[in-house]
Each structure stands twice: as structure tokens, then as C-alpha cells.
Structure 1
Amino acid sequence: MRNILSLAVLLVAAPAFAGVTNVQAVLAEGAGIPAGFVSNDILIDFEGNLRGQQMIVALSQGTMYQDAFGSNTAPTAALIPAFPAVAFDSFVTVGGATASSSQATLVVGGAPNLPGDSTDLLFDTTGANIAWAPGTGVNVPNGTGYLTARLTLSDDAVGEVWYFGSTSGTDDPLVAAPGGNFPVGLIQGGAVTFIPEPATAMLAGLALVGFVARRR
């Protein structure tokens, strides 16, 4: 049991990689979510100044919501009282759910560091292939649970979300894609789920082992 606890301490003390260290999806909530859709906030943890990010939303079924008053970046807050669904448009961002709460966001094209190597921008009801970064001269240091995208998908949507994130001062970006260093985001019924990284899953298993040992 002592060896198991020692291993757990080592796993906690040694992160898998520097830079962007985690990506997760949580369900967004609000009265403006269009009927028949599920809204997902994509959140990241990172160390250093946030730099380029890339995402592919590959749907084998269903659609990605595109509001008539929205764009591929965070919506204008003044529109939301009159058009609540625009708050749940699909978009990429640098930290905020509205244009005023987000840092300046520069969309630069497609996602060249993800499978397919495409630099062609795609962001419509069929899915996404997009790269973005903080605007020129904008520094965003260290973040936890930092909003990087909102994806509102039909409740029959099936597919995958691939993500690439980098920060200054690191040569080890997070790549949540086939062949990458982090699990792919799975879409089922419109909800996005990133499978926990192996160290996290192992810690959960160790906690269970410890609980069983105490019960005995």
C-alpha cells in the first residue's frame, strides 16, 4: 500500500507536459440554447503566454449551430437580450463568451498542425477547421478553465473534436488528435467528452484500490 501511495504522489507531482496541460468540455446552460441542440464549452489549462490554437470538428452525423447574428468569434453582448440564441452560437475565443469579455481574437485560417494539414478555413454547419490566436500584442499568461471555444451541436451529432494548443517558451504543444499526446474529444448526442489523460485515470484507480484496502 505504501508503494501505491508513493506512485500516486509521483504522478501528481509530475505533469504530463508543459504549455497547454489540459482540455475539457463542459455543458453550457441557458435559456437561449436552440431547441434540439447541445452547447459545449471547451476549456483549457495552460502555463506561459497563450499562443496559437487549432481545432477540427469532424461530424459523421448532425450539424453545428451557426446563428444568423453570429460569426466564428464570440458574439456581441448587446445582441443577446434581443436574440438570446446568439449567445450559444458556435465560435472560438480567447477567454470570453462575448466579444467584450474575450481578448482580441485573430482567426488565421485552417489547422495545419492537425491531421489533414489543411490551411483552408472551414466554420459552418458541417463542422470546423480553424486556427486562431490572441491578437497582435496581446499576452494571456497562465489560465485554468479558460474558455477557448463554444460548440453548439445538434442532439443527434456524432463525431470527433481535435485540438492543438501552444504557449510561449515550450516546444511541446498539446495535441488532442489521432497520434497526439492527449485523447481525442468524442461527440455523442451533441455532447463533447475528452477522455481523462492516463495519469488522471491511474490516480482514480489508485484511489479505488486504497478505498478497498481500507474496507478490508
Structure 2
Amino acid sequence: MSGNRIITIGREFGSGGKLIGMKLAERLGVKCYDKELLDIASDHSGLCKEIMEHNDEKPVNSFFYSLVTDVHSGSQPFTGYMNMPLNQKVFLAQFEAIQKLADREPCVIVGRCADYALASHDNITSVFVSGALPDKVERVAALYNISKDKAMDLIPKTDKKRANYYNYYSNKKWGSAASYDLCINSSAVGIEGAVDMILDFVKKKEEQKVSG
């Protein structure tokens, strides 16, 4: 793995995690990757983007946890497993795209088990963003132009899907403080405050690494 600075962001739905990632990337002068990863994975794997989107951040019913860990350790290339079921191909294509992206450039990556995919990376900071329910409802309702009742219904369903995906593929628990370097409540500090906190944390973490 390269030493490119990578910041990964896990997030509760409506917490502003994507917005924080975008602002963070802007401050750092790098790119923020969210659904753009689907295009990269699609180009690399040959799977069409529609298939990637349909299976995005969804767990699969399979036995291939050991396969993932073997590939994660670098013993096999993902491209050698193209005879497996479609949903497994989608996950592995994204997993490989994340690793290749991290080797290529410093960036911010939102979601998709990026922190787990890059666990052996030399310079990664993993962040999880949560938020108060009223704030999340307001943000989701405004962003998707839906009622607050609909947003209230959609938030736990989306979070459950993200948790199932993360918990299935990683050896950690989605949203648990032990799974990340830094956890932030965006309702407590605001979007800009969250960006400031992440930047300050990364700076201190890198200084600590240098000082030994």
C-alpha cells in the first residue's frame, strides 16, 4: 500500500456525512468519492453501472468471508473470481477499486466499507458521523423533497442496510466507537465544526506517528 493520506467516512443517513466529506476534500485539495466509486468499479470489472447501483452497499447471502479476507491480505487478485455470483462480483469490484484508488491518490471516501478495505493502508483515518434524529429528519426531507414522516421511516431502514453491509463484510461493528479512529456527532458541532475536528485529528495523528 502507498502512503497517500486517505480519510474514510461512515455515516448515519441524514447526518451530513457526505457533505462533510465533500467539504473536507475541498479543504484538503483532493477528491471525495461516494457513488463515483461505482463508475470506477464498473470500468475496472466490466459490470454495468446499473448493476453496481442495484447492489450498492447491500450484503449478500454467501459463504465467502474467507475469500474476502484472503484477497484483503493480498494473496489473490479480485479479478480472478469472476465466475462467482453477481452480488459477490459487485462487492469485490468495489473493494478492489477502493484499494487501487488509495494507491493512486490521496482522497476522501464515503461509505462502502472503505476503512476495512484499507485496513493495511499506511496513512488512513477512519471517521464515523452520527446526528440527532430531528436534524437527520430535516436534512433527509429537504434533500429528497419528501415529507418528514417519510424521512422518519426511511432513516432507520437505510441505516439498517448500511449496518448489515458493514457488519457482514468487515470484522467490526457499524457505528461502534471501537470500529473507527474518530466518531463525531454533527448535530453537536455542525458541518463545518465536524470538518475542523477531522482536520485537527488527522494533523495530530500524523504528528504522533512522526514522533513515534
TM-score (norm 2): 0.30
TM-score (norm 1): 0.30
Structure with more relative contact order (C-alpha pairs < 8 Å, separation 6 or more) = 2
**Higher Rg of the two aligned structures:** 1
